[in-house]
Structure 1
Amino acid sequence: MELLAVQLQQEAHCTISDLAAQFGVSARTIARDLSLMRDQGMLIDADRGRGGGVRLDSNWGVGRMNLSYSEAVDLLISIAVAERMNSPMFLANLGSVRRQLVASFSPEKRNRVNRLNSRILIGVTASTYVQASVASPPARVVQTLHRAFVDQERLDITYRREDGQTSRRSIDPHYLLLKYPVWYVVAFDHLRQEPRTFRCDRLLAATGTDTPFRLRPKAEFGASLVGDDLLV
């Protein structure tokens, strides 16, 4: 029924016969699904008469978006970054959106979000030299880093240094640091047995290990956390 709801939202006018043909089912099945959708509270309009169409009210779905924990966290981070950039455009409602998102969490998840937010830091804007060399890391690397950061799991990476040399590292991603527009991961490096900072766009590969780690005291990371204004 989700696909049917999406189709009804996208199309201004659909007939039951058209929908039946599109989804490869009978018109009776479509009619039954529409009835079930109405029972679930969806606002479905129908035109009377032969050839009449059905449509989902354009306002349906506002306030009904279901986000997973990780998706909600991503949205909160994006809102916080936008607020921190202090742009006067399009920020009027971000504070309200953020408060509603946080309020929708259970107390336990709210605490998790607060702890996670304390590990996402804002530093000074990157120099023009650094900005000139920044690139987008592979999507798969970003996703793996994101999961390891949120779940506090050790990460195996292949990293390219500024001189072009590559190395394999095993890191615990403690903090993410934004020096706009460049993201860094501040981690405990098991190869060097000390904290190190890695530019996210120089991560060539990343593999999760499913090995959890405990957060080390913030004081251990010292100069790596320069400019550590909290996002939220």
Structure 2
Amino acid sequence: MRATDRSRFERLDATAARLKDDAGLTAKDLAEQLGVSLRTVSRDLALLRDRGVPVEADRGRGGGVRLPRNWGVGKLSLTYREAVELLVCLAIAEQLPSPWLIANLAAVRRKLVASFAPSLKDKIAGLRSRILIGGSASAAVVESFSPLGAEITEALLTGFLEQKRVRLSYRDVEGRLTGREIEPQWLLLNAPVWYVMGWDYKREAVRSFRCDRILEAHLSETPFTLRPARDFDEAIADIRAIRP
């Protein structure tokens, strides 16, 4: 997703939250609070209405815009990133061996996807083909596993979502420390361990990286294009996995 798209989604969420919290807001108030022009506020309000948000407006002096305070009960408004994270969580839950209380998760997932705006739905559909949920990691892998730091997680996830290269400091299975620059094209979870699969510029080939062996990760502003799925055939040949 482009930065402009992401900021627009975030601004729409912020606008809806302010309208629900304060019944006395004017378009000028919104423009000042959000740091945008009146024209941008007008476009955003029109877009919210197009998405089914019941924005109400009072005309004339002293008039304002608002949302009914009871609106949103039973509804869920998600950002692009939140939607991706929730879909992955649902996919993980569907893989759990116990069917009790989670038998209807597939239906929940379908309803969640169906509720998204068309533009968001298209973006998420593209991501689903790049995320694999496999089985549990082996006992030996789990024993050496350590949780990822917030900065590493942020760089990897942002690079994956926005298709930007990431520079890594990586310790391999032999304990050797190397510097890499990669395109984070695919993600794989063998719970609780995440792997990122992508083009490695040092090796000039597709490589998989166990995320908890990454010591540092720095997002680059250099974009990349998605590579054909056939480029990853060898990397995922022995993986039994589903997509969110």
TM-score when normalising by structure 1: 0.71
Task: Describe the shift of the 1:198–1:160 C-alpha distance in structure 2 as closer, same or farther (beyond 3 A).
Answer: same
Task: Describe the shift of the 1:104–1:195 C-alpha distance in structure 2 as closer, same or farther (beyond 3 A).
Answer: same
Amino acid at match of 1:229: A
Tell me by how many angstroms 1:61 deviates: 4.8
Q: Choose from 81, 102, 105 the match for 2:113.
A: 102
CA distance in structure 1 between the aligned counterparts of 2:99 and 2:116, rounded to whole angstroms? 28
CA distance in structure 2 between the aligned counterparts of 1:120 and 1:106, rounded to whole angstroms? 21
Contact 2:167–2:219, Cα closer than 8 Å, also in 1? yes
1:218 counterpart residue number: 229
Number of residue pairs matched?
187
Contact 2:207–2:235, Cα closer than 8 Å, also in 1? yes
1:20 counterpart residue number: none
- Does residue 227 of the first structure (1) align with residue 236 of the second (2)? no
Tell me by how many angstroms 1:84 deviates: 2.2
SS state at 1:229 partner? coil
Contact 2:164–2:220, Cα closer than 8 Å, also in 1? yes
Q: Can you list the C-alpha shifts for 1:121-165, whole angstroms capped at 9, x where unaligned? A: 133432211111011010111111111111111111111122322
Query: Percent identity among equivalent residues?
Result: 41
Contact 1:184–1:200, Cα closer than 8 Å, also in 2? yes
Which shifted more, 222-231 or 175-184? 222-231
Amino acid at match of 1:115: G
Structure number with bigger Rg:
1
SS state at 2:235 partner? helix
Q: Can you list the C-alpha shifts for 1:17-57, whole angstroms capped at 9, x where unaligned? A: xxxxxxxxxxxxxxxxxxx9xx63225xxxxxxxxxxxxxx
Tell me by how many angstroms 1:169 deviates: 0.5
SS state at 2:175 partner? coil
Q: Choose from 95, 108, 118 the match for 2:129.
A: 118
- Does residue 42 of the first structure (1) align with residue 69 of the second (2)? yes
Instruction: Kindly report which structure 2 residues correspond to 1:5-84, keeping only aligned pairs within 5 A, or say none.
Output: 40-43=67-70, 61-84=72-95
Tell me by how many angstroms 1:75 deviates: 0.3
Contact 2:135–2:240, Cα closer than 8 Å, also in 1? no
Amino acid at match of 1:76: L
Which shifted more, 151-160 or 82-91? 82-91
1:21 counterpart residue number: none
SS state at 2:147 partner? coil
Contact 1:122–1:227, Cα closer than 8 Å, also in 2? no
2:178 counterpart residue number: 167
Tell me by how many angstroms 1:93 deviates: 4.2
> Which segments of 5 or more consecutive residues in structure 2 lack a partner in the other structure?
1-15, 22-62
CA distance in structure 2 between the aligned counterparts of 1:86 and 1:212, rounded to whole angstroms? 39
**RMSD over equivalenced CA pairs, Å:** 2.7
Amino acid at match of 1:87: S
> Which segments of 5 or more consecutive residues in structure 1 lack a partner in the other structure?
7-35, 44-59
1:90 counterpart residue number: 101
Instruction: Kindly report which structure 2 residues correspond to 1:112-191, keeping only aligned pairs within 5 A, or say none.
Output: 112-191=123-202
Amino acid at match of 1:231: R
- Does residue 198 of the first structure (1) align with residue 209 of the second (2)? yes
Structure 1 runs of 4+ with >6 Å offset: none
